[in-house]
């Protein structure tokens, strides 16, 4: 009888251990993302007229972009109407600082409160008064720190920094990682890493691995002749790939709704 009880206890123990092991395996197995692979096309500075024209050219791809605006106090009423139109038609208008200063240098010299009081609060008030709903910020010159992040997260839902280089796609830092701080890769012709085939390879990697690429540009032009210029053909190649591969265009605001 004792032997039977012993064997019975052993069998129960093995069953429990196996059950726990399977349960742990189920917990460890990561959930696969259900979000569609895609791209976030962002634009910095105050090239409003050029962006408005780019939107007309790219409309055939059902695209959308996020426009981080600086020098808002210097824009004409016509340009503000263009921004309003862009926002009303699926694009996002975001913030890039009132005077496009180097964030960390400004904070080091004048302090965080002065930075918010002079660069952020007035800009948000001006934009709100014109009916522009602004929740996101990109760093001028990509100049950021942990301190500046902490300050700005009191006023914005996301912050976009910058990254550079032509590392292999699996080592790039320009994919959205479901975090409020993320980084974009510049696609202006003047960047050392500029290469349309390389940009396409990042999109292909994103498609294959269900990721979202973040790019940033500045002035949109037919032919680049200066720094901070992105040619229409670069944007068109990106948009063609996204559309032909059933990927998705996201705004930064869209990212916040993803699971």
**Residue 247 pLDDT grade (very low, low, confident, very high; cuts 50, 70, 90):** very high
125 belongs to a structural domain: yes
Whole-number Å distance between alpha carbons of 137 and 175: 17
Q: Is the pLDDT of residue 15 over 50?
A: no
5 belongs to a structural domain: no
How does strand 181-186 pair with strand 212-217?
Answer: parallel
Whole-number Å distance between alpha carbons of 202 and 215: 10
Which CATH number goes with the domain that contains 146?
3.20.20.370
**Residue 33 pLDDT grade (very low, low, confident, very high; cuts 50, 70, 90):** low
The DSSP symbol for 29 reads S
Q: What is the pLDDT of residue 182?
A: 98
29 belongs to a structural domain: no
Tokens describing residue 40: 């976030």
193 belongs to a structural domain: yes
22 belongs to a structural domain: no
68 belongs to a structural domain: yes
Domain that holds residue 107: 39-255
Task: Using a cut of 0.85, tell me whether the model's pTM lies above it.
Answer: yes
The DSSP symbol for 175 reads B
- Across 13-17, 101-105, 170-174, 209-213, least confident range: 13-17
Q: Is the pLDDT of residue 259 over 90?
A: no
126 belongs to a structural domain: yes
Overall number of domains in the chain: 1
What are the DSSP E strand ranges found in 147-197? 158-163, 181-186
Residues 104-108, mean pLDDT to the nearest whole number: 98
Ramachandran category for residue 178: left, alpha or beta (phi over 0 → left; psi -120 to 50 → alpha):
left
Q: What is the pLDDT of residue 177?
A: 96
Burial of 93: CB neighbours in 10 Å, binned 0-12, 13-18, 19+:
buried
Apex 34 CA angle, 29 and 36, nearest 5: 140
Q: What is the pLDDT of residue 138?
A: 99
Q: Report which of residues 62 and 16 the model is more confident about.
A: 62
102 belongs to a structural domain: yes
Among the listed residues 169, 152, 170, the one whose alpha carbon sits nearest the alpha carbon of residue 161: 152
Q: What are the pLDDT digits (tens) for 190-236? A: 999 999 999 999 999 999 999 999 999 999 999 999 999 999 999 99
Q: What is the pLDDT of residue 35?
A: 87
How does strand 229-231 pair with strand 181-186?
Answer: unpaired
Q: What are the pLDDT digits (tens) for 117-167? A: 999 999 999 999 999 989 999 999 999 999 999 999 999 999 999 999 999
Average pLDDT score, the chain: 91
Q: Is the pLDDT of residue 25 over 70?
A: no
**Percent of all residues in the chain with a pLDDT value above 90, rounded to a whole number:** 86
**178: how many CB neighbours lie within 10 A of its CB?**
12
């Amino acid at each position: 009888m004792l032997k039977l009880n012993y064997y019975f206890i052993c069998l129960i123990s093995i069953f429990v251990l196996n059950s726990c092991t399977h349960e742990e395996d189920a917990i460890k197995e990561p959930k696969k993302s259900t979000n569609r692979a895609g791209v976030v096309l962002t634009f910095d500075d105050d090239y409003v007229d050029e962006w408005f024209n780019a939107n007309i050219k790219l409309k055939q791809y059902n695209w959308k972009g996020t426009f981080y605006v600086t020098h808002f106090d210097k824009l004409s009423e016509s340009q503000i109407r263009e921004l309003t139109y862009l926002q009303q038609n699926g694009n996002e208008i975001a913030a890039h600082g009132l005077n496009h200063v180097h964030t960390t240098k400004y904070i080091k010299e004048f302090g965080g409160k002065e930075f918010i009081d002079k660069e952020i609060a007035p800009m948000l008030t001006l934009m709100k008064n014109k009916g522009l709903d602004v929740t996101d910020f990109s760093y001028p010159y990509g100049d950021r720190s942990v301190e500046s992040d902490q300050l700005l997260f009191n006023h914005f839902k996301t912050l976009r920094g910058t990254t550079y280089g032509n590392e292999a796609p699996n080592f790039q830092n320009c994919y959205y990682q479901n975090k409020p701080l993320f980084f974009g890769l510049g696609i202006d012709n003047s960047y050392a890493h500029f290469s349309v085939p390389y940009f396409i390879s990042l999109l292909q990697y994103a498609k294959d691995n269900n990721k979202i690429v973040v790019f940033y540009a500045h002035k949109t032009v037919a032919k680049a002749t200066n720094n901070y210029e992105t040619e229409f053909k670069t944007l068109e190649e990106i948009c063609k790939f996204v559309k032909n591969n059933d990927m998705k265009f996201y705004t930064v605001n869209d990212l916040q709704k993803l699971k």
